[in-house]
């Protein structure tokens, strides 16, 4: 029975991907891509990776979906500057892509057996971190350097987006609210955020022991903030606002500070003293959750469109 579900999921994923590529109408293609992201989340559940499933549905489906839909609306009818490829060229490209797929598929089929795994190593050290969720442990203890660098990448991307604002608008606020706010959106923006904030905080809190964590919680909080801004209930902040910048930098800065304190109080960079591991990780996660929420929301909001208030 579950095999049938898997086969149906795989078939739908491939069909949707082809549809996204082949559909001539851009908006339909992007809506199909949203459905693709949600189904992909289900696929991750079937791969026994609920943490990834939550991230994929929230960021891959939701966040990227809003981003692309907004871009499509802004660019409608203007994004046609290249000559279409000849049929022969397309066939050659299709052949090459098929070869890449076939090679990857072959690699999947001939994975070494028994498969290499780091699960026992992750499990053995779990006790020292005081965490119950091995994925959170990998993100914030064993491979914390990756997570730290990733946060910096997100901030760099945000700096990149902000720097695209015209000179006169630097430091101003992005424009998120559409020209006419639909009634249902305004209603949702009033009703949903209290629940969303509770769910976000809960996801952050259980992340230590169960599926959930900074990214997932941060995305939910970002979505609530975006909703409020899109409905025009609360205007987007000036990008030069000190409080916003403090929240954005706060997470990675605290992470980095604790990482350096590791030289003094533990074995080295990014090492936690064993007794303090869990509270430290929770503190980092809390600050990171706010940073991620602010960064993701501002990434979707885009560069400044209004001159800063003086």
Partner 1 sequence: MTAVLQPGVLFGLCGAGLVGIGLFAVVTQTGLLRRIVGCNILGAGIFLVFGAVARRGAGAGFDADPVPQALVITGIVVAFSASALAVALLKRLSELTDGDRAEAAERESGS
Closest CB 176 distance from partner 1, rounded Å = 14
Measured from the CB atom, the residue of 163 and 243 that comes closer to partner 1 is 163
CB of 218 to partner 1, least distance (A): 9
Cβ closest to partner 1, residue 19 vs residue 278 = 19
For position 28 contacting partner 1 by CB under 8 A, the verdict is no
For partner 1, give the closer residue by CB, 62 or 196.
62
Which parts of 168-207 interact with partner 1 (CB under 8 A)?
Answer: none
State which of positions 239-298 bind partner 1 (CB under 8 A). 292, 296
Establish if 167 lies at the interface with partner 1 (CB under 8 A): no
74 forms part of the interface with partner 1 (CB under 8 A): yes
The reply to whether 73 sits near partner 1 by the rule CB under 8 A is: no
Binding-site size for partner 1 (CB under 8 A) equals 97
**Beta carbon nearer to partner 1, 127 or 184:** 127
Q: Which is nearer to partner 1, 108 or 264 (CB)?
A: 108
Cβ pair 17, 40 in contact under 8 A: no
Site for partner 1 in 39-68 (CB under 8 A): 40, 43-44, 46-49, 51-52, 55-56, 59-60, 63-64, 67-68
Stretch that binds partner 1, among 29-37, 244-252, 261-269, 271-279 (CB under 8 A): 29-37
For the bound state, the minimum distance from the C-beta of residue 292 to partner 1, rounded and expressed in Å, comes to 8
Q: How far is the CB of 237 from partner 1 (least distance, A)?
A: 18
């Amino acid at each position: 029975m579950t095999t049938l579900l898997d086969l149906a999921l795989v078939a739908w994923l491939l069909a949707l991907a082809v549809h996204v590529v082949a559909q001539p109408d851009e908006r339909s293609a992007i809506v199909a891509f949203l459905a693709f992201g949600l189904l992909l989340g289900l696929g991750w559940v079937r791969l026994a990776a609920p943490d990834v499933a939550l991230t994929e549905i929230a960021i891959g489906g939701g966040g990227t979906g809003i981003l692309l839909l907004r871009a499509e609306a802004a660019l409608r009818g203007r994004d046609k500057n290249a000559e279409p490829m000849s049929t022969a060229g397309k066939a050659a490209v299709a052949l090459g892509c098929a070869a890449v797929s076939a090679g990857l598929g072959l690699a999947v089929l001939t994975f070494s057996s028994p498969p290499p795994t780091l699960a026992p190593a992750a499990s053995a050290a779990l006790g020292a971190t005081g965490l119950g969720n091995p994925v959170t442990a990998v993100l914030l203890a064993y491979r914390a350097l990756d997570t730290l660098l990733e946060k910096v990448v997100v901030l760099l991307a945000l700096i990149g987006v902000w720097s695209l604002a015209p000179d006169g608008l630097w430091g101003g606020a992005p424009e998120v609210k559409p020209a006419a706010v639909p009634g249902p959106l305004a209603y949702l923006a009033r009703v949903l955020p209290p629940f969303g904030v509770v769910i976000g905080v809960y996801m952050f809190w259980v992340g230590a022991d169960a599926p959930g964590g900074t990214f997932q919680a941060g995305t939910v909080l970002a979505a609530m903030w975006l909703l409020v801004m899109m409905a025009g209930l609360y205007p987007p902040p000036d990008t030069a606002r000190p409080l916003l910048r403090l929240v954005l930098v706060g997470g990675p800065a605290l992470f980095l500070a604790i990482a350096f304190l590791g030289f003094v109080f533990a074995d080295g960079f990014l090492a936690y003293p064993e007794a303090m591991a869990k509270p430290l990780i929770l503190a980092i996660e809390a600050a990171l959750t706010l940073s991620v929420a602010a960064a993701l929301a501002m990434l979707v909001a885009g560069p400044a469109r209004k001159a800063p208030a003086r």
